[in-house]
Amino acid sequence: MSITGECFCGGVKYVVDGKLQDATSCHCSRCRKAFNSQASAFVQVKLSEFSWLAGEDQLTSYVGQEGYGLQFCKTCGSTLVGTYNGEVFGVTLGCLNGDPDVKPITHIYVASKAKWETMPSGVIQFDEGKPE
């Protein structure tokens, strides 16, 4: 599978030439703030299957706890990828072009979800992160 993604302004573009894995939605308070939404939605990718196509110089990074971070467009602010120790490990579903043919069925950190959020029925939920 090959799928492209890009930021809102179109200045930063990437391609994933491989399988999108482990679609997840995180409901923790940090993701709500980072994504300005009730949750984040992302999939994991293999670094060897991910490539920037354009605008890599337009990225800025935020690194938070334990080496995990985000990269986003300096111009429009779209959050594009998740990083660990500076390496891409996942992409946000909202910035993918076309149908990624995945759905987040796993919802994590549901115990700290926003009080106004209603969870969909029939999804796998974990109060904290996924068990190892």
Structurally, the chain folds into a number of domains equal to 1
Domain interval for residue 84: 2-125
CATH no. for residue 115? 2.170.150.70
| 10-45 per-position pLDDT tens digit | 999 999 999 998 888 888 888 888 888 888 889 999
Is the residue at 132 inside a domain? no
pLDDT score recorded for residue 31: 81
In a domain, 131, yes or no: no
Residue 57 in domain: yes
**At residue 122, does pLDDT exceed 90?**
no
In a domain, 104, yes or no: yes
Tell me the pTM.
0.86
- Tens of pLDDT, residue by residue over 42-101, are 999 999 999 999 999 999 999 987 888 999 999 999 999 999 998 999 999 999 998 898
Nearest one of 71, 62, 67 to 14, comparing CA atoms? 71
Answer whether residue 40 is part of any domain: yes
Domain presence at residue 130: no
Whether residue 42 lies inside any domain: the answer is yes
